[in-house]
Amino acid sequence: MFGPPVIALSFALSFLGFGFLWIGKLSGEAFIAVLYLLLAYTASHFRGSRIALRDTVLPALPLALLIGLFRDSNDSHLGSIAIVLAWLAGAVLGAFAADRARTSLPRLCACIGAMSVLHLLVAGGLAMASFGSTMRVFEGQPVAPGAALIDSAADLLMQPMLSFLGEVPRLTPVGQWIALAINSLAWGSVLGVLLALALRAKGGPAPAPAG
């Protein structure tokens, strides 16, 4: 009974990803890849990696093949292929990480929560440091050492949310916090799965799939 919901969700994610491509929000594809990771991880946790990959990848194939036909401004298919590969990478990482880690849901949520909070703190700290460096320039003070590195790191950790929304300051303060939280949750999902996998690898072999 677990298969049909996964199949439906996989198709819905591919449709949403196609919508992001259609409206030109390519950075949204990063969120789609993360959602495929979480979907495949969950399915693999209960059914094993092979069934999870079948139920996750096959429903996305029709729109994935259609996306692969799109060309960019340079008449190249590379961008479209990269989108499809990002989806596939998310599904494969999620499926095999769960199959290897076999981590309980509470432990996985703890890993994702911890990495999300860590990302939010680091990204927020770097963003404030970057803003402080900008203010120093406006005030005629010398640029702080490493300011360019801080700016680059802050921009990196704010992706893909920054590219997806454009200028975050346009949002209300509550909207900014929600956007930052979603962005950190996306990063935390990937890092949390990797952390769960690393903890299981350190602890010993994974038990057999349930059911």
**161-190 pLDDT, tens digit each:** 776 666 555 667 777 778 888 888 888 888
Q: What would the pLDDT profile of 126-174 be if each residue is shown by its tens digit?
A: 777 776 655 555 555 555 556 667 777 777 777 777 766 665 556 677 7
> What region does 144 belong to: left with phi over 0, alpha with psi -120 to 50, or beta?
beta
The amino acid sitting at 156 is: L
Tell which wins on pLDDT, 177 or 84. Answer: 84
The mean pLDDT value of the chain amounts to 76
In which band, very low, low, confident or very high, does the pLDDT at 119 lie, cut at 50, 70 and 90?
confident
In which band, very low, low, confident or very high, does the pLDDT at 1 lie, cut at 50, 70 and 90?
very low
The amino acid sitting at 127 is: A
In which band, very low, low, confident or very high, does the pLDDT at 211 lie, cut at 50, 70 and 90?
very low
Q: Are 15 and 28 in contact (CB under 8 A)?
A: no
Q: Tell me: cis bond preceding 160? Omega within 30 of 0 counts.
A: yes
pLDDT of residue 135: 55
pLDDT of residue 171: 67
Counting DSSP H helices and E strands in the chain, the numbers are: 9, 0
pLDDT of residue 31: 81
State the CB neighbour count (10 A cutoff) for residue 102.
18
pLDDT of residue 145: 56
d(CA 109, CA 45) in angstroms, rounded, equals 13
Tell which wins on pLDDT, 204 or 98. Answer: 98
Q: Are 26 and 83 in contact (CB under 8 A)?
A: yes
Domain boundaries, the chain: 1-101, 103-211
